[in-house]
Structure 1
Amino acid sequence: MGMAGMTSIDHFNLRSFDLNLMIAFDAMMKERSVTKAAAKLRIQQPAMSHNLSTLRMLLDDELFIRIGNVMQPTAKAEAIAVSVADILDRAQSVIQAKDCFNPACAEREFKVGFTCEELLLLPDLVARMAVSAPGIRIRAVRVFGDDVGRALDQGDIDLSVVCFPLVPARYRHQKLLNQTLACVYNPDLLAVSGAPSRTEYLAARHVFIALQDDIRGCVGTLIREAGFDLDIVVGVPDYMAALEIAAVSPMIATMPDLIASRYASRFGLAVHPAPVPIDLPSVSMVWSARGESDPAIQWLRAEITDIAAGITSEGRLLAAE
C-alpha cells in the first residue's frame, strides 16, 4: 500500500499504550491460561495478571472469562485477535528482516567521490553496470582534501576513491592499488632518446595535474619537497588534458604509472619511469561507518575492489585494513 493509502498514525495517543500488552493479549489467545501465557512470555504470573487487568481497563471489556479450567475469549477478544496477531507478525518481520540488494533489478544512484582517480576505475565500472546492473547510476563527484570527510559525514557521497597518504581512523578504508611515478612525452617533439635521464627530465618543460591553487599539484609538490626544481609550464585539472598537451607540445607530463600505461598509447606517447625517487600514496577506497552494512554499498565496494585487482600489470591488490 502506498503512503497515500495509509491511515495517519496518532503518535501522541498511541505512545500512552504499552504495545507489550498486545504481546500479552496474543499469548492469552493462544494459551487460554494466565499461567501458561506467563510461562510463554517468561514473566511471573502476577505480572501476567496485571497485564490482563490493564487490557480489560483500556479496552473496556473482560476479554477472557474463566469457564472451567480455560480462559475463554469474549466476542471482542475474538474480533481483535486476528488484527493483533497480524500486527505482531509484521513487527517481527521488520525486526528480523535482512537487507538484500539485487543489482540486476535495483534502481539506485550512487555518488562516488574521486580526488583524481576516476580514469582508473570508472570506465570499467560503467561497462560492468551496463551488463549486470542496468538500473544503477553513478555520479562521480570531485572532492579535495578535507572535503572527502565532510562529504562522507554529510551523506553527499556514498564512498570515495582517494590517493591520500593517511586516512582518518574514523572512516573505513581499503587500499586498492600501489602506484609509482611515470613520465610521458611525444618522442617526435622532445629530443630524448628512450627513458629520459634525470638531467634531461629536470631540464625539460613540464605539464602537471593541478586540481587546486598550486600549479605543481600534489605530485609536483612531492617532487619539489624531494629537492628537485622543475620548470612547470602548465597545470591542468585532469589527466586527459595533460596527455593531449604532451602529445602536441615538447613537454613531459608526469603522472601515476597506472594512468600512463593505460592511456598514453592513445596519444602516441612514450612512457617511462620518472627518474626521480618519489613514493606516491596508494589509491584507497574510503567510506563511512554508516555505509558499512548497506548491502548496496557493499556490492559497489566489491565491484570496485574486483576492478582494482585487474588494473595493474601485476594484478596487485592489497589487503583490506
Structure 2
Amino acid sequence: MKSMGEQTPLFDLNLIRAFVAIYETRSVTHAAERLGLTQPTVSHALARLRVCYGDRLFSRGAQGLIPSAAAERLFEQVNVALSTIEGTLEAQQVFEPGSSTRRFRIATSDIGALFFIPPLLRHFQSVAPKLQAEFVQLSDTVLEDLSTGALDLALGNLPDLHQHTREAHVFMERYVCLVSAEHPMAHGTLELADFMRARHVMVSSPNSGHALIEGALAQRGIRRNIVALVPQFSVLPSLVEGSDLMVILPERVAGLFASQRRLKKVEIPVALPDFEVRVHWHARAESSPAHRWLREEVIQTLSKL
C-alpha cells in the first residue's frame, strides 16, 4: 500500500465504474465496449486504480484477466454501493426518448425474437428513432447479466427467473399444434390416439419454459412420437409445410407461421396449462427513468399482440 508521504491521485466514480466493468467482463476491451469508452481510456483508469490501491488488481490468464485477492475484496465492497449511487443519480435525470441515443439490450429466445422484435422495432422507430435496441439470445448467464447491467430486460416464459428478478405480466398464452395444410389431421378434431401416433418435431430450447410441455404430457401418461429434435423455432415453418410432421407451439406464434405459409393450427386433444409471458429486470434498474420507460413501452406494445 502507499506510504503516508505519497500523494494519492485524484479518485472519482468513473474509476469504480471501470473497475466493476473490468471485474465483470474480465477484459479491458469488453469493459470499454460496455462503458462506451475507448480501450486506452479504460487502461488508463486501471493504471490509476493500481496506484490508488497499491495492488496490481488483475493479472492475465488463459480465459481473461484474473482478479487478485485485493480486487475480490474491493468488488464485494463497491459493487452494491455503485449500484445504489448510480440509481440515485439516474433517478434524478430526465429521459427524453425522442432524442436519446441510449442502447438497450433485451434477451429473448429465438421464438421470442420472431414474434417480439418486429413490433418492438416499429414502435421504437416511431417514438425513439435514435435509440439503439440490441436483442440477444437467452443464455445460462441471463440472471447474472441482468444483475450486472449487461442486460436490461429478459422477455418470455422464463419460470426460473421468477424468484430472482422484478417482473411484469405481458400476456397469457396457450399451446396448439401446427401442421401442414395438407396434413390428414389438419381438418376436424384431432383425437388423442392420432396425436400420440403423429410424427412430432420438438425444439430443444433449455433456456425456455417450453421444455415444460413434456413434463405436463408425462403427468397425463401421454408420450409423443418425437422423430426430430431441432435447435431453433425459426426452422419449423419450412420443415412442417408439405410434410406429415406436427409441432406444439404457442398459439400466437403458430398463427404467425400459418399466416405466412400453408400451415394449419389444430387444437391439442389434451389440456395443457396456459403460461405467462413476462418481462424481467433487476432491482438495480427499478428507479431508472430510462429503464422504466423501456419496460412500459415493451409491456404496452406486446400486450396488444
Q: Aligning the two structures, in what range does the TM-score lie when normalised by the shorter sequence? A: 0.5 to 0.7
- Secondary structure at the aligned position of 2:184 is classed as coil
Residue from 161, 172, 184 that aligns with 2:155: 161
Check conservation: 1:184, 1:254, Cα contact below 8 A. Answer: yes
Q: What's the CA shift string for 1:186-242, capped at 9, x where partnerless? A: 1314355323222211110011221249xx944334323432111112222333311
| Corresponding residue for residue 187 of structure 1 | 181
Check conservation: 1:183, 1:272, Cα contact below 8 A. Answer: yes
Distance 2:195 2:217 in 1: 12
Distance 2:112 2:189 in 1: 25
Q: Percent of aligned positions with the same letter in both sequences?
A: 23
| Corresponding residue for residue 271 of structure 2 | 277
Check conservation: 1:243, 1:253, Cα contact below 8 A. Answer: no
Instruction: Evaluate the alpha carbon distance shift between residue 195 and residue 242 of structure 1 in structure 2; reply closer, same or farther with a 3 A threshold.
Output: farther
Q: Post-superposition shift, 1:96?
A: 11
Distance 2:89 2:297 in 1: 29
Check conservation: 2:100, 2:131, Cα contact below 8 A. Answer: yes
| Corresponding residue for residue 70 of structure 2 | none
Distance 1:258 1:264 in 2: 10
| Corresponding residue for residue 122 of structure 2 | 127
| Corresponding residue for residue 236 of structure 2 | 242
Residue from 280, 285, 294 that aligns with 2:288: 294
| Corresponding residue for residue 15 of structure 1 | none
Check conservation: 2:201, 2:245, Cα contact below 8 A. Answer: yes
| Corresponding residue for residue 198 of structure 1 | 192
| Corresponding residue for residue 168 of structure 2 | 174
Task: Give the residue type in structure 1 aligned to 2:213.
Answer: V
TM-score, structure 2 as length reference: 0.65
Check conservation: 2:179, 2:186, Cα contact below 8 A. Answer: no
Q: What's the CA shift string for 1:113-168, capped at 9, x where partnerless? A: 11342233211000112222121122212124x53212211222111013133534
- Secondary structure at the aligned position of 1:178 is classed as strand
Q: Post-superposition shift, 1:246?
A: 1.0
Instruction: Work out whether 1:117 is the aligned partner of 2:108.
Output: no
Unaligned runs of 5+ in 2: 1-7, 12-87
- Secondary structure at the aligned position of 1:110 is classed as strand
Unaligned runs of 5+ in 1: 1-8, 13-93, 312-321
Check conservation: 1:121, 1:307, Cα contact below 8 A. Answer: no
TM-score, structure 1 as length reference: 0.62
Check conservation: 1:217, 1:235, Cα contact below 8 A. Answer: no
User: In terms of Rg, which structure is larger?
Assistant: 1
Superposed CA RMSD = 2.8
- Secondary structure at the aligned position of 1:248 is classed as coil
- Secondary structure at the aligned position of 1:184 is classed as strand
